[in-house]
Structure 1
Amino acid sequence: MTEIEQLLTQVAAQARTSRPWGWPSLPKPVEPAAPARAEAALGFALPPLLASLYSRIADGGFGPEYGLLPLLDSPPSGEPAAVAQYLTNREEGRKDPDWPWPEGVLPISHWGCGMYACVDCRTPEATVLLYEPNADEADHAWYVDAPSLTDWLHAWLEGTGWYEESNDGMDLEPWADFRSRTTPSPTP
């Protein structure tokens, strides 16, 4: 069994036995065509591990704190799905150039108070970022939560994430690529 298969097995077991805040039950996985539909709406590919989480485990409702957002359809709680939240954030970022939303950065989990865990779908390792909009300016609102989606999932499974009470005060590194990923390239 590959490392990714082992990780998916561990995540599935944890997902079946824990319920994040606001999720009464674990949703079914998305239909096989859903990741492709999400990619068409987003305009970029989902990391394979993220697509597998949705298609093999559940359409959200598992993971740290409030759990993963559903991929395409909003849950009964009314929380936007990941694709809809991304599209909304990109549109709002176009309206307010002081708070741009980076292309290819998909919100996957809501932390409350406008904070999101996001996957950078443009990196091969699927870096997980923390968006913390309560900062004074957008340059100080983005942090590297985990170098990869694999590491982020392991932190949840092992109880070592920054959000755990035992890790109170754990500092996250600022996301150095924010400005380069939100500043338009000069036209030749």
Structure 2
Amino acid sequence: MTDAPHRTASDDDMLLERLHSLAWGAGGVIPARGLLPDKPFPPLTIAEVERAEQHLGYRLPQLLRRIYTEIGDGGFGPEGGLASLTPRHIPHWYVPDWPCATTIHAQRAGWEPPASWLFLTGGGCTMEWYISLIAVDHPVLLWDADGWEPERGQDPHDGLRYAAPSLRQWLWTWADGGDVWDEALAQPE
């Protein structure tokens, strides 16, 4: 785990300023990876966020609502960049449709994380980052679809791990230049 100071809701304005600067100041692209669009998607209105929440059946955490309404509808952030809440098409890009959390949520088939978990971003290969919409502090979960073996008596829950005790901490790790994977691997299983 990082030795970063404990962050609270009183630090959210500072976090949002940092995220805004990272998203818009550098064009939204992480130079070493170049996996993000040229810039984040425009912010949503409160009404658009409320429509997304109706589709999800859950209210988003206040911090996530602020990110989507004050910074942008995804396309920036840790890993592959936050998923959007509304479908987005990116012409002339290697991925024509940006991951949409509400679409992914509606298309759950077979065993997936519970409906109270919202897709945040891909983690590569079969890994995905989620946030709990109902747990205290909204922990971030890392799920590996291939992280369990039925022949060993495991079930899909064995592919789950808590990656960060809160969305706030996960985002601060990234905003402070840290690696969210280091944070996830430091969490007890």
TM norm structure 2: 0.78
Deviation of the 1:169 alpha carbon: 9.7
2:54 to 15, 28, 40: 40
Deviation of the 1:171 alpha carbon: 4.2
Tell me, what secondary structure is at the counterpart of 1:61? coil
Tell me, what secondary structure is at the counterpart of 1:19? coil
1:119 to 128, 131, 134: 131
Residue aligning to 1:183: none
Query: What amino acid sits opposite 1:149 in the alignment?
Result: L
1:130 counterpart = 2:148? no
Deviation of the 1:168 alpha carbon: 10
Deviation of the 1:7 alpha carbon: 1.1
2:77 to 63, 82, 105: 63
TM norm structure 1: 0.79
Q: How many equivalent pairs are there?
A: 164
- Which 5+ residue runs of structure 1 have no aligned equivalent? 94-98, 175-188
Tell me, what secondary structure is at the counterpart of 2:128? strand
Q: Deviations over 1:83-126 (max 9, x none)?
A: 1111212xx13xxxxx2431210001112223211110002311
Q: After the TM superposition, which residues 101-116 of structure 1 pair with which residues of structure 2 at under 5 Å, given as runs?
A: 101-116=113-128
Tell me, what secondary structure is at the counterpart of 1:173? coil
d(CA) in 1 for partners of 2:48, 2:119:
17
Query: What amino acid sits opposite 2:23 in the alignment?
Result: A
Q: Deviations over 1:60-95 (max 9, x none)?
A: 011112100111223323133001111212xx13xx
Q: Kindly report the root-mean-square deviation, in angstroms, between the aligned alpha carbons of the 2 structures.
A: 2.2
Query: What amino acid sits opposite 1:6 in the alignment?
Result: M
Greater RCO between the two (CA within 8 Å, min separation 6)? 2
- Judging changes above 3 Å, is the alpha-carbon distance between structure 1 residues 14 and 101 closer, same or farther for their aligned structure 2 residues? same
- Which 5+ residue runs of structure 2 have no aligned equivalent? 1-8, 91-95, 149-154
Deviation of the 1:32 alpha carbon: 2.5
Residue aligning to 2:169: 151
| Percentage of matched positions with identical amino acids | 28
1:81 to 97, 100, 106: 100
